[in-house]
Amino acid sequence: MIGDPRRDGAAANRRLVVSIHDVSPAFADPIEQLAETIGAILGGPRFAMLVVPDHWGRALLDRSPAFARRLRHWADAGVEMFLHGWFHRDASNHPTAAAAMKARYMTAGEGEFLGLGADEAEDRMRRGRAVVEDAIGRPVAGFIAPAWLYGAGARAALKACDFALAEDHFRVWQPATDAIVARGPVVTWASRSAARTASSLAVAAAARALPDWLPTLRVAVHPGDVTKASLMTSIAQTIGTLAARRTVARYVDLLPQGGAAA
């Protein structure tokens, strides 16, 4: 079995966590394709899904019963479900030049929680959580901001909402205590331009080749990845290669009570 720690003792101390982002009725077919591809590589639904309640204000989950049923099926099978913003769209007026640059260059207008105040961020988190939990029939595993970008308001709202876990580009942490449970960058892919695609393919190739010095390695895929064969080939190669050398883990396994913290 891929990722089985019984194969070698070292692998038991190195974890691989895989997630599918932007899970929404707007991308039902690509999400299904990614879930099938990753599930086949990992030997089952051993990954997380990041669910957007109303992607760009055009795809309400609670008005998409067929997709909600599919989400519950995945959750019942063991897929971890995270809340992933509300709209996944950044419509904020950013107060600082640094935040404006992040919003412009780090994401294509999708850093929804980068510029929100605490009250608005908390309202979207609470409403989104209710929608997703109603669909899946259980609590969400945590909250992950769109584009992994958090402003001060979002960080305050995370504490108020008592999510078990959150993550950004470089860490996974417990918002209630700020305790970090995993460190290191996320391996992901980009489909927006030829240059971004080439760069992401190079990074993925490096991740496959580099020594396994990180205790926890995270891999994230997006619906747009299915639009390019080169990306899907790289995703399959990367997840397969890393899973052969690591224990495939869930986010909950990163928690002290679920497994050893990194």
State the Cα–Cα distance between residues 82 and 70, nearest whole angstrom.
Answer: 15
Closest by Cα among 83, 101, 197 to 141: 83
- In terms of Cβ atoms closer than 10 Å to its own Cβ (0-12, 13-18, 19+), residue 240 is middle
Q: pLDDT band at residue 256, thresholds of 50, 70 and 90?
A: confident
Q: What domains appear along the chain, each with residue ranges and CATH number?
A: 5-254 (3.20.20.370)
Comparing 71 with 102, the larger pLDDT belongs to 71
Q: pLDDT band at residue 13, thresholds of 50, 70 and 90?
A: confident
* Per-residue model confidence (pLDDT) at position 8: 53
22-64 pLDDT, tens digit each: 999 999 999 999 999 999 999 999 999 999 999 988 999 999 9
* Per-residue model confidence (pLDDT) at position 257: 72
What is the mean predicted confidence (pLDDT) over 84-104?
A: 59
Q: pLDDT band at residue 93, thresholds of 50, 70 and 90?
A: low
For 189, the enclosing helix (H) or strand (E) is none
State the Cα–Cα distance between residues 250 and 226, nearest whole angstrom.
Answer: 23
Q: pLDDT band at residue 259, thresholds of 50, 70 and 90?
A: very low
136-191 pLDDT, tens digit each: 999 999 999 999 999 999 999 999 999 999 999 999 999 999 999 999 999 999 99
Closest by Cα among 104, 101, 118, 136 to 23: 136
User: What is the torsional sign of CA 215, 222, 205, 193?
Assistant: negative
Residues 221 and 39 sit within 8 Å (Cβ to Cβ)? no
- pTM, 2 dp: 0.89
Instruction: Provide the strand spans (E) within 102-239.
Output: 142-143, 166-167, 171-174, 179-183, 186-187, 216-221
| Termini Cα distance of the chain | 24
211-245 pLDDT, tens digit each: 889 999 999 999 999 999 999 999 999 999 999 99
